[in-house]
Structure 1
Amino acid sequence: MRRRRGTYKIFIIMFTLLAALLITFLIIDRGIKPTVIAMSEAQVRYIAIKAMNNAVKKVLNTDIKYTDLINVMTDRNGKISLIQANTIRMNALASETSSVAQEEIRSMGAEGIYIPLGSIFNSKILAGLGPRIKVTIIPIGSVAIDFATEFENAGINQTRHKIYMEMEANVRIVVPLGSDTASVKTRIPITETIIVGDVPDYYINVDGQKEDIMNLVPGP
């Protein structure tokens, strides 16, 4: 009888422990985990954008020129008659930058960020206290890159032509017992020039009506 009672007590203790673990898991899964992910999302976006900016700096190395990406055609009088995108050069830059950006995100994300457990309770007293929860960032797929152009008035008969690199990365936010995904986008200016033409007889400046003349730069 004593053995049976001892076995029964052990069974009750084990059942109680398992029930407590299950309840703890449900509390973390439904309460703490979403809060941790939401709190870490801003820092995750910062890290991903910083990684993509680092990739652009490494690939371009500040040596990129407007004429590397755009072919400027002139007529007999030296006037600009056509500007044409150098798609081969752009495709090569996009491919290399995407690869470097993905590695930058993986490297910076592996270091992770840490959020004090007390911060999730939205309390000034508990903020910064308690054990730190590590949040890891993992890139998903390749970093998508496209080019965009923008024309803006730069004075009488002058037009500033800017070229941007638009980047988008999908990352997985990994926390203990769960994960989530986030899409991070950034737009980085890479080069620009001033297009100068003949001074017109009349000049009218209409504020608030900026339009792209054309999208000269197709994506890779």
Structure 2
Amino acid sequence: MRMNRRYRPYKKGPLPFRYVMLLAILFFVLSTVISLFFINRSIKPTLIHIAELETERIANHLIQYSVQDFAEDQENMKDMVVMNTSENGKVTTIDFNAQATSKAMADLSRHLQKNLEDIEKGNFQKEAKEALKDQTDGHDGIIYNIPLGQASGNALIANLGPKVPVRFSVIGDPHTDVEKNIKPYGINNALIDISVLIEVKVRVIIPFASETIVVKNSVPVSIQAVQGDVPDYYNGSGTNSGAPSIVLPEKKEKKE
């Protein structure tokens, strides 16, 4: 006769150590990745905002320095305004030299482009280093170091934590334009104000993100005062100004 075997349930033992270690490592890696994702998502906007502000500040400082340095060394900036005078030296008309203006703007754009590229490569001039506020020495093109504690918004730990380096890259050529204003002042006088409008597109770069911003600045390059003849008749604004002031011309003495 055939004997029926009794079924004995299989008893599961503990998992082998290598499986336990593998599961622990997978759990650690997964939790770390998820934590870094949420941390990065929360601090990234703050760090990008700080990087944009500092990049814009340094770029504006460099733009102002470049324009002023160019205006001091270039004689063609003075030729932008042409004053036509009469035989006795009195100013009759004021014109703007379009050819000299175009040449000056092209030279200024190249001068500014060179200075921006130097900062990208880490070649900081003395004036550019003054804008860094001792945050970095400019090595490897780093223009600013953001303490990670600033992303917390807590003033007590704002300067703590590792430093996040900020770099920038210029996109395209700087766009330059001239703004000319003639403002009357006093009696028969004019103030000629010439400013350079500069627009630069810059990419702000931090280790895990980048953003493109546009830096705009207006820098005065020339202010000239033109004095005309004081008229014999002047009635102020023309309304409710009282009796007009009339100055009689001087009589020439007859020679005997």
Structure-2-length-normalised TM-score: 0.70
| Equivalent residue, structure 2, for 1:214 | none
| Equivalent residue, structure 1, for 2:226 | 195
User: How many aligned residue pairs are there?
Assistant: 205
The superposition leaves residues 105-155 of structure 1 with CA deviations (integer Å, 9 ceiling, x where unpaired) of 333352320111111111121111111111111111111100001222332
1:150 matched to 2:161: no
Once the two structures are superposed, the pairs formed by residues 58-97 of structure 1 within 5 Å of their partners are 58-61=69-72, 64=75, 67-75=78-86, 78-97=89-108
| Equivalent residue, structure 2, for 1:100 | 111
Summarize the Cα distance change of 1:60–1:117 in structure 2 as closer, same or farther, 3 Å threshold. same
Match for residue 41 of structure 1 among 35, 44, 52: 52
CA contact (8 A) 1:154 1:194 kept: no
The alpha carbon displacement at 1:101 in A equals 1.6
The alpha carbon displacement at 1:67 in A equals 4.3
| Equivalent residue, structure 1, for 2:206 | 175
| Equivalent residue, structure 1, for 2:163 | 132
The superposition leaves residues 18-49 of structure 1 with CA deviations (integer Å, 9 ceiling, x where unpaired) of 42343244224421111011122222111101
Q: In the aligned structure 2, how far is the partner of 1:87 from the partner of 1:28?
A: 55
Task: Identify unmatched segments of 5+ residues in structure 1.
Answer: 207-220
| Equivalent residue, structure 2, for 1:211 | none
* Mean CA deviation greater in 84-93 or 73-82: 73-82
Summarize the Cα distance change of 1:94–1:193 in structure 2 as closer, same or farther, 3 Å threshold. same
Task: Identify unmatched segments of 5+ residues in structure 2.
Answer: 1-11, 121-140, 239-256
Summarize the Cα distance change of 1:97–1:18 in structure 2 as closer, same or farther, 3 Å threshold. farther
* Mean CA deviation greater in 160-169 or 34-43: 34-43
* Mean CA deviation greater in 22-31 or 115-124: 22-31
Which structure has more relative contact order (CA 8 Å, sep 6+)? It is: 1
Q: In the aligned structure 1, how far is the partner of 2:237 from the partner of 2:77?
A: 26
CA RMSD of aligned residues (A): 2.7
Q: Helix, strand or coil for the counterpart of 1:102?
A: helix
| Equivalent residue, structure 1, for 2:131 | none
The alpha carbon displacement at 1:100 in A equals 2.2
The superposition leaves residues 140-187 of structure 1 with CA deviations (integer Å, 9 ceiling, x where unpaired) of 111110000122233221111011111111111111210111111111
* Mean CA deviation greater in 138-147 or 11-20: 11-20
Q: In the aligned structure 2, how far is the partner of 1:172 from the partner of 1:136?
A: 8
Q: In the aligned structure 2, how far is the partner of 1:13 from the partner of 1:89?
A: 73
Q: In the aligned structure 2, how far is the partner of 1:28 from the partner of 1:94?
A: 46
CA contact (8 A) 1:47 1:108 kept: no
CA contact (8 A) 1:138 1:171 kept: yes
Structure-1-length-normalised TM-score: 0.80
CA contact (8 A) 2:77 2:104 kept: no
